[in-house]
Amino acid sequence: MIGTIANTALIIVGSLIGGTIRRGLKEKYQSILYTAMGLAAFGLGINAVVQNMSQSSYPVLFIASLAIGGVIGTALDIEGHFNNLVNSRSKSESNLARGLSTAIMLFCIGTLSILGPVNSALYGDETFLFTNATLDFVTSMVLASTFGYGIAFAAVVLFCWQGGIYLLASFAAPLLTDGLMAEISIVGGFLILASGLSILKIKEISTMNMLPALAVPPLWFALMHFTNGLGGLL
């Protein structure tokens, strides 16, 4: 967990630095940084999808995940509640909700952020997490210089995310296969890509409402594991 704590701390520090820099930036510079983050999210999303698509054992699982997750998230109105929470706390930051959703995707959905806690729990290896912490430090500075200090809240989400994976890896290591990680990364890649499209104002997508899509691959793999177990008994 040391790597996760370091990752969380560096996001907070980076957000504080970026938020401070933002106060001295003219609007035209804030605008270009906003565009830069949109392009970066777009590119990172495509990269995650392309890298992992060839490793998928269930080519249509990501489609089902996005569809099911989107329906559930819309029914729960996750984005509406999230926006209300953010806006009630920071009315001056009209784009903070969008920035936070993008930050959460970038910080949490990636190979280093997923495999890092697994390696930490199983082997005591913090290398991935320390590397991820360095990258997130820089990313949080850029995001906060665009959206403000509120980006630091994403550190709380990252801590819960990596902490959850750490605990899962400690108690259910057999379920955390390379195949599952690939499927989660594909779905996550599409969500990051969606964030980029929204930031660039190409297509307004309720990214937060699609977050439940990330839960579909683990549930599917757990079902397959259970079914195979029953098959072995029979």
pTM of the model: 0.72
Q: Mean pLDDT across the stretch 206-220?
A: 87
Q: Is the pLDDT of residue 200 over 70?
A: yes
Buried b (16+ CB within 10 A) or exposed e, 37-66: bbebbbebbeebbeebeeebebeebbeebb
DSSP for 83-141, written as a single string: HHHHHHH-TT-TTHHHHHHHHHHHHHSSHHHHHHHHHHHHH---HHHHHHHHHHHHHHH
- Of 66, 68, 44, 41, give the one whose Cα is nearest residue 183: 66
Backbone angles phi, psi at 51, to 5 degrees: -65, -35
Q: Rg of the chain over CA atoms, in angstroms?
A: 18
How far is the C-alpha of 56 from the C-alpha of 91, rounded, in Å?
Answer: 42
Q: Is the pLDDT of residue 58 over 60?
A: yes
**Could you report the per-residue pLDDT of 72-127, keeping only the tens digit for each?**
999 998 878 777 766 655 544 556 777 887 888 788 876 678 778 888 888 888 88
- Predicted confidence at residue 52, as pLDDT, reads 87
Q: Mean pLDDT across the stretch 25-42?
A: 77
How far is the C-alpha of 120 from the C-alpha of 143, rounded, in Å?
Answer: 27
Q: Is the pLDDT of residue 67 over 80?
A: yes
